[in-house]
Amino acid sequence: MEDCIFCKIIRGEIPSAKVFETETVLAFLDINPVSKGHTLVIPKAHYATFPEMPADIIAALGQALQKIGEAVKSQLNSAGFNILLNNDRAAGQLIDHSHFHLIPRNLGDGVMDWPPVRPYAEGEMEAVRGAIESAV
């Protein structure tokens, strides 16, 4: 995709702080990190959203996330990490090239506090479960 900022990074038109690369995956530090080591893990082929990606690409991204996550923990002394994917604008996706955020975490860092829960109304959980099950 010509205008995609991530495609430009993949083509070397925009510099990046690359931490990992294979034939199908590129990982680089986010220029606006939530925490030190915040890494973006992207497919080299352009897919706007997660559902568009073939299973083999998703598997390659998962393997990269495992490797990078362990490297972050050991080299940056983080206690853990979040893996986040925003899919579509309603979920916060700002760049139309599917990508994962790997965010190093430490206890009490307050980086991504979980929002308050919103319990189901009576009978609502079963209705939602049934709707999802029937579509899968």
Q: Which residues are catalytic?
A: 99
For 16-47, the DSSP string reads --EEEE-SSEEEEE-SS-SSTT-EEEEESS--
CA-to-CA separations, 82 to 30, 40, 69, 93, in angstroms, rounded: 14, 12, 9, 16
